[in-house]
Amino acid sequence: MKMADEVILLDFWPSMFGMRVRIALAEKGIKYEYKEQDIFNKSPLLLEMNPIHKKIPVLIHNGKPVYEVWNDKSPLLPSDPYQRAHARFWADFVDKKVYDVSTKLLTTKGEELEVGKKEFFEIYKILEGELGDKPYFGGETFGFVDLSLITFYSWFHVYEVFGNINIEAECPKIIAWAKRCLQKETLANSLTDQKKVYEDVLRRKRSLE
């Protein structure tokens, strides 16, 4: 994308998937217009640009939806084919496993919640093993897997309160990694504050009671 091109992002501020796009755009230095969406009352533009899934985020480039913010030439993906495939594998792991175990902490109670907590930490300990002693998942620089996982950090306070857990006590490497990521200005400016996400989730839960 050229800087002069028109880029619009349709997004919902607490979305971990939307935050990924915001970080990727910031990392690439791409200017864009942000249009906040009500995911419970979807706009005609959102329905037009994403008629099948009807979900955010949607990136619009010169009037057309873009489904991949990054490509194989992106600095977020390794240039080596094996390393690139490895990064995509772990990003897929985050999308499927991390998302599923995180959702359980918010939607279950009692014995099911206890099982959910156990699964949550099992998944994060697998990720700690993959991270090892490296600063970032890909090595010395922030990359594709880091981008996939770091946006969940904005939801950690929500998970801790509703799941009655302490993530740092169980997975200190993950918290240290997250804090390292947040030293990057592009991330610090793109991630939503944990307390703000918690207050929004609490407000929505109360409105359903």
pLDDT of the residue at 72: 47
- 185 CB contacts (<8 Å, ≥6 apart)? none
Burial 166-185 (b: 16+ CB within 10 A, else e): ebeeebebbeebbeebeebe
Q: Is the pTM of this model over 0.75?
A: yes
Instruction: Give tens-digit pLDDT for 134-153.
Output: 999 999 999 999 999 999 99
The class that CATH gives domain 81-208 is: mainly alpha
What's at 189, amino acid-wise?
N
Q: Where does 7-66 sit in CATH, by number?
A: 3.40.30.10
Could you give the count of Cα atoms lying within 13 Å of 117 in the half-sphere of its Cβ?
Answer: 15
Contact 112, 151 (CB under 8 A): no
Instruction: Give tens-digit pLDDT for 149-193.
Output: 999 999 999 999 999 999 999 999 999 999 999 999 999 999 999
CA 143 to centroid of chain Cα atoms: 13
Contact 147, 178 (CB under 8 A): no
Which part of the chain is CATH 1.20.1050.10?
A: 81-208
